[in-house]
Copies of this chain bind each other. A is one copy, B any other.
Amino acid sequence: MDKVKYAKVNLDIVNKLKKIVGDEGVITDSFDMEPYSHDETPGLKSFPEVVVKPKTKDEVAKLLSLSNQEGIPLTPRGGGTGVAGGAVPIFGGIVLSMERMNKILEIDISNSMTVVQPGVINGNLQRELKNYELFYPVNPASLDSCTIGGNVANSSSGSNAVKYGGTKNYVCGLETVLPSGEVIRAGGKLVKNATDYRMVQLLLGSEGTLGVITEVTLQVIPLPPVKVDLIVPLSEITPIAEIVKEVMGKKIIPTSIEYMDSETVRITKNYLKDSPFLPESSHYLLIEVDGSRKEEVDKDYQTIGEICLNRGAEDVLVVEDSGAQGKLWKFRQSIRDALVSFSPTMIEGDIVVPRGKITFFLQQVRDVLKKYSLSAGIFGHLGDGNVHINILKGKTEDEKWKVITSKAVEELFNGAISLGGKISGEHGIGLIKKPYLPLIVSEAELNLMRKIKRVFDPKNVLNPGKIFD
> Which residue numbers of A lie inside 8 Å of B, CB to CB?
108-113, 133, 154-155, 157, 161-162, 165-166, 168-169, 178, 180, 182-186, 188-199, 201-202, 204-206, 221-225, 245, 248-249, 251, 253, 292-293, 295-296, 350, 352-357, 381, 384-386, 420-429, 433, 437, 440-442, 444-445, 448-449, 451-452, 455-456
Contact = CB atoms under 8 A, between A and B. Distances in A.
Contacts of A204: 198, 201
Nearest to A250: B222
A425 to B, nearest CB: 4
Contact of A188 (B192, B354, B384): B354
A352 B193 CA distance: 7
Given A108-B354, A182-B444, 13 more contacts: A110-B245, A178-B444, A188-B420, A191-B385, A194-B429, A195-B429, A196-B440, A196-B445, A201-B201, A202-B202, A225-B251, A451-B455, A452-B452
Contacts of A445: 184, 186, 196, 199
B198 A449 contact: yes
Contacts of A420: 188-190
Contact of A190 (B183, B225, B422, B437): B422
Contacts of A423: 195
Contact of A202 (B201, B222, B456): B201
Contact of A422 (B195, B425, B449, B452): B195
A111, A204, A449: most-surrounded residue (chain B CB, <10 A): A111
A116 to B, nearest CB: 16
Copies of this chain per assembly: 2
A178 B296 CA distance: 48
Contact of A183 (B253, B296, B444, B449): B444
B190 A385 contact: yes
Nearest to A450: B455
Contacts of A194: 154-155, 205, 350, 422, 424-429
A178 B444 CA distance: 9
A97 B87 CA distance: 45
Contacts of A155: 194, 197
B421 A221 contact: no
A222 B437 CA distance: 34
B448 A184 contact: yes
